[in-house]
Amino acid sequence: MPEQLGRSLSLWDATELARELVEQGVVDAISPQTVQRILHDHRLKPWRHHHWLGKKVPRDAAFIAQTEEISDLYTRRLGPDEVVLSVDEKSSLQPRTRKAPTRPAVPSRPVQVEHEYERKGALNLFAALDTRSGITYGRTYPRKRQAEFIDFLEHLDATIPARVRRIHVICDNVSVHHGKAVRAWLAKHPRFVFHFTPVHCSWMNQVEQWFSILQRKRLVLSNFDSLEDLATKIEEFIRMWNEVAVPFRWTRASFNKILAKAEAELAAAA
């Protein structure tokens, strides 16, 4: 990395590498284009980066058990009296009211969005995706606490028919989902059964896929008149989605690779 050589740079680019090679006396002169060709031959692109997460949670028996449980909920045949909901929150959704109207696309010109906008607060979307139908339930709130989560659970309880006697809820293990108030609510609503994904495994939560669709189709050009307008537009998107909803196709194969790796690590540690 550049800082190891005393350079105040985050990443190398071809120009900086060319300058460094000359300063260190490796070559008398070299162009950035030549550096780029050499790097290309070695399949190196030091100006690119991606985030990764070091292993903080061991892939142990508990991890395998949780993953098996989630896999089973996604893939087995459900009884007529049970549903599986994937639940999470999408936080800090901002209206970002633009100071000039967005201009539609015309020949040879893309959609144009005013750069400057007004801040008008933020909303948090609580959403639950029915993994067998694709139907999505959602409500927006100004805050993200146990109180809002319990209100959302109340909404689900009132909306899902009484014939459904077991509502499996898949969610991550943040305090909003398992605090004292939530546990007290669950004790009074026995048809709700929570199943927590392993730490740092948000990919196991299907609603994350739905959030990416919402982001791409409705939120990528954030330009809403107010928080109320934003909430209304999200509700309208959910209504339109549910008119044509289909489930995401998850199979056992989605989990087999990570399970095989975890089981191998567990066997090696034994």
Q: Is residue 103 over pLDDT 70?
A: yes
> How much is the average pLDDT of 9-29?
94
Q: Are residues 241 and 111 part of one domain?
A: yes
The whole-number pLDDT of residue 53 equals 54
Q: Are residues 206 and 100 part of one domain?
A: yes
Residue 267 lies in a domain: no
Range list of H helices, 32-94: 32-41, 61-75
Reported as a pLDDT band with limits 50, 70 and 90, residue 36 is very high
The whole-number pLDDT of residue 202 equals 85
Question: From CA 90, how far away is CA 138, in angstroms rounded?
Answer: 10
Q: Are residues 65 and 37 part of one domain?
A: no
Reported as a pLDDT band with limits 50, 70 and 90, residue 265 is confident
Identify which of 170, 156, 196 has the alpha carbon closest to the alpha carbon of residue 248: 170
Q: Which residue has the higher pLDDT, 56 or 250?
A: 250
Name the pTM for this structure: 0.81
The per-residue pLDDT for range 117-141, each reduced to its tens digit, is 899 999 999 999 999 999 999 999 9
Residue 47 lies in a domain: no
Q: Are residues 128 and 25 part of one domain?
A: no
Q: Which residue has the higher pLDDT, 38 or 199?
A: 38
- Contact between residue 201 and residue 64 where contact means Cβ atoms under 8 Å apart: no
Q: Given the structure tokens 């780029």, which residue do they identify?
A: 36
CA gyration radius, the chain: 25
The per-residue pLDDT for range 191-237, each reduced to its tens digit, is 999 999 988 888 899 999 999 999 999 999 889 999 999 999 999 99
Q: Is residue 32 over pLDDT 70?
A: yes
Total domain count, the chain: 2
Residue 32 lies in a domain: yes
The per-residue pLDDT for range 45-83, each reduced to its tens digit, is 999 987 665 665 667 788 888 999 999 999 999 999 999
The whole-number pLDDT of residue 132 equals 97
Residue 62 structure tokens:
């508990």
Residue 54 lies in a domain: no
Average confidence score pLDDT of the chain: 92
Q: Which residue has the higher pLDDT, 28 or 115?
A: 28
Residue 207 lies in a domain: yes
Residue 193 structure tokens:
């059964």
Which of 33-42, 48-57, 175-184, 244-253 shows the lowest per-residue confidence on average (mean pLDDT)? 48-57
Return the number of other C-beta atoms located less than 10 Å from residue 34's C-beta. 14
The whole-number pLDDT of residue 13 equals 93
Question: From CA 249, how far away is CA 33, in angstroms rounded?
Answer: 46
Residue 237 lies in a domain: yes
Q: Is 239 helix (H, G, I), strand (E, B) or coil?
A: helix
The whole-number pLDDT of residue 261 equals 78
Q: Of 4-13, 99-108, 229-238, which has the strongest mean pLDDT?
A: 229-238
Residue 181 lies in a domain: yes
Q: Are residues 114 and 8 part of one domain?
A: no
What are the Cα distances from residue 84, in Å, to 71, 77, 104, 190, 244?
A: 12, 11, 40, 15, 19
Q: Where is 98: in which H helix or E strand?
A: strand 97-98
Domain that holds residue 245: 61-261
